[in-house]
Structure 1
Amino acid sequence: MRGLKPGAAVAALFAFWVSGAAAGCGAAPEACAVQDGRYHIVLPEASAVPLPVVMFLHGYGGSGAQVLKNKALVEGVTQRGYALIAPEGRKRGVTGPQSWGFGPFDDGRDEGAFFAAVLADASARFGTSGAQTVLAGFSAGAFMVHYLACRDPEAFAAYAPVSGAFWRPQPEACAGPVRLLQVHGWRDEVVPLEGRPLGGGRWEQGDVFAGLELWRQANGCTSHAPDRAWREDGQLRRRWDCGPGAEIEMVLFDGGHALPGGWAGWMADWFEDEPAVR
């Protein structure tokens, strides 16, 4: 679902993880219910309809309600004119922590169908866009972003994973083209850039750089070298422009396993800056 981008607006970004918007279904306190799950949504105070959407997937053991406690994220997204949607993952087993079905853990709920149902329900209830959509996520949520983008790049207009990539063995190939913004902390020890084994070697997180190579192949990039590499406000950035709708940008920030306070602004600037012709 690709479409025109929202116009840029002034962003108000906050740097700390503190109490934010109340979880719920817009003005209602309870979460919105769709087939196979629930989601929370926060709307901007004033914006043109249809509202562009950032769907943000929580990390392992987290929840959609907890996503809305991140004031930097909620304020940063909604003050740019986007609706913020935070779906609830599914429990591992009966009473296990909530996460997502991706890669080696891809069983149970069809997550792509669930996200599509959430987008359709939010559009019907709140007038959100089905075309101006970004799927983002942190940690396990970022893993899910990669796997859905790989399988169905048309499901969202763009993808913005933070601190997550594929697991080993990573997919042999992905569909494309795709617009992807990969953000990762240089000092991340939970999901290191090179990955790490877990469960006594039963599972292994993948290498972020190997994942980017796979995305360059999916986008038909003619060179592995970036079109641009630069430093901006303390971040190291690389960008590959490989054709219409085929853009990859990597942002490395000086930090660990965290969603950086300025992420919402970086994401919105990147999403709104797609050239008309590539």
Structure 2
Amino acid sequence: MCRTLLTGLLLSLVAGTAPAQQDCARGEVACRVADGSYHVRLPDSAAAQPPAVMFLHGYGADALAMIRNPRVTDALLARGFAVIAPNGRGRDGADGGGWSFMPGRPQRRDEAAFLQSVRDDAVARFGLDSARIFLGGYSIGGSMTSYIACAAPDSFAAYVPVAGSFWRPHPDRCAGPVRLLHTHGWTDGTVPLEGRPLRGGQIMQGDVFAAFQVWRAANGCDGLRATRFDTSGPFWRRAWTDCAPGSALELALHPGGHLVPDGWADMAADWLATLPPR
């Protein structure tokens, strides 16, 4: 009798949780954590513990729009990555909107703690490889990525921001060496490489080249000049390799504007594959 009751209880628990996890993994249904939510999609032919790219949406967007973006999601899924899209937090506390990273501005949420909780929840729910969870983002999602990489570089295995970096004032220093590939459009007018003032100069976007001074210092790179160059493909790439062991630093420029360019996901996947385990 006791065995029968126990079996029935276990079956009811499985029946109650499995559909929720399955729906959450389809991408359209949000997974909930203590301070927010995220969407996730898993590769069709996933390895036992697939790697994942957590990718942060831009201003005014949300995680559902991000998880539906074929330039990011479909290409990464095809390369065997799971894709995790957390929701930013709007001014009214609603999902989506923005991210709290601006220097000297009120913070709507502890974003580092939130993103780490999303990471841990996704690893536990879906059996992802905890050592290969990477963080990226577009526009202010790229800025949020850069601030996490600077303040808590060990939170994720590597960082792949697109079209978003530090804001002024730039950080004086970062907590330690990073592994970071920054991608930016040569003709970006929304987040220019040199940055720009907004709201009548109340806030100012940062300079990507100044950000790389911060990254080089964090990585202990010898000299200012890049040591490896590649202009053979759609991206103009420069890397700093004479740096701290285990670090990686690269800038990839493309001729377009403020967007995630075609081919970015494959380039990022190839770059991530070159990194040794942490």
The TM-score normalised by the length of structure 2 is: 0.87
User: Whose strand fraction is larger, Structure 1's or Structure 2's?
Assistant: 1
- Distance, in Å, in 2 between the alignment partners of 1:39 and 1:94 is 15
Per-residue CA deviation, residues 89-123 of structure 1 (Å, 9 max, x unaligned), is 00124579611110334512111111111111111
- Partner residue, 1:240: 240
Larger Rg: 2
Misfit runs of 4+, over 4 Å: 94-97
Instruction: Tell me what 2:161 maps to.
Output: 161
Q: Mark the CA change 1:31 to 1:193 in structure 2 (over 3 Å): closer, same or farther.
A: same
Residue equivalent to 2:30: 31
| In 2, Cα distance between equivalents of 1:266 and 1:198 | 32
1:1-278 alignment runs, 5 A limit: 25-27=24-26, 29-93=28-92, 98-104=97-103, 105=105, 107-241=107-241, 242-274=243-275
RMSD of aligned C-alpha atoms? Answer: 1.8
Deviation at 1:199, TM superposition (A): 0.7
What is the identity, as a one-letter code, of the residue corresponding to 2:168?
Answer: R
Change over 3 Å in CA distance of 1:125–1:275 after alignment to 2: closer
Any idea what SS the aligned residue of 1:72 has? coil
Q: CA deviation at 1:275?
A: 5.8
> C-alpha offsets along residues 16-46 of structure 1, whole Å, 9 cap, x if unaligned?
xxxxxxxx62137420000000000000011
Identity of aligned residues (%): 48
User: What is the aligned residue count?
Assistant: 254
Change (3 A) 1:106 1:43: farther
Unpaired stretches in structure 1, ≥5 consecutive residues? 1-23
- Taking the aligned partners of 1:238 and 1:28, their CA distance within structure 2 comes to 35
Residues 94/80 of structure 1: CA separation in 2 closer, same or farther (3 Å cut): closer
CA distance in 2 between partners of 1:28 and 1:234 (Å): 30
Structure 2's unaligned 5+ residue stretches are 1-22
Q: CA deviation at 1:130?
A: 1.6
